[in-house]
């Protein structure tokens, strides 16, 4: 599990520079999901460009496309699809942690991510 996490961090390359004007979700995140199918390490990279958010979700099943990212009343919803699966991460960011509910066609549960440290 630790090895997969290290591989996820390395595969993300250099962390994105997050500017003060960027939304709080922009940047690189690492952590895991805990579902009825078991735990899995994941990584989330979110970019902000011209006021639009985009990203990729790195999983043990490959890279999944982030199809939308929205915020309402401090709650973020990250929709994704890939490898025959689609779903959402719905949660809040507090103290550099993004956590909440994981809902997908394959499995439901919870997720917890921490902001990856920036590389200089």
Residue-wise pLDDT tens digits, 5-38: 444 444 444 333 334 346 899 999 999 999 999 9
Q: Higher model confidence: residue 15 or residue 68?
A: 68
Domain ranges of the chain: 2-115
- E-strand ranges in 1-120 read 27-35, 38-49, 52-59, 62-72, 75-82, 85-94, 97-104, 108-115
Residue 117: which pLDDT band, with cuts at 50, 70 and 90? confident
The pLDDT score that the predictor gives to residue 120 is: 54
The pLDDT score that the predictor gives to residue 10 is: 43
Class of domain 2-115 as given by CATH = mainly beta
Supply the mean pLDDT for the chain.
86
The whole-number average pLDDT for the span 38-56 is 95
CB atoms within 10 A of CB 116: 20
């Amino acid at each position: 599990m630790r090895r997969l996490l290290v591989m996820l961090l390395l595969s993300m390359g250099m962390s994105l520079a997050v500017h003060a004007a960027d939304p709080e979700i922009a940047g690189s995140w690492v952590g895991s999901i805990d579902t009825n199918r078991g735990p899995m390490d994941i990584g989330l990279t979110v970019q902000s460009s011209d006021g639009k958010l985009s990203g990729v979700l790195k999983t043990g099943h490959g890279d999944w496309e982030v199809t939308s990212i929205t915020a309402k009343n401090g709650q973020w919803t990250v929709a994704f699809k890939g490898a025959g699966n689609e779903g959402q991460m719905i949660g809040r960011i507090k103290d550099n942690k993004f956590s909440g509910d994981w809902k997908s066609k394959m499995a439901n549960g919870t997720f917890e991510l921490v902001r990856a440290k920036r590389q200089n």
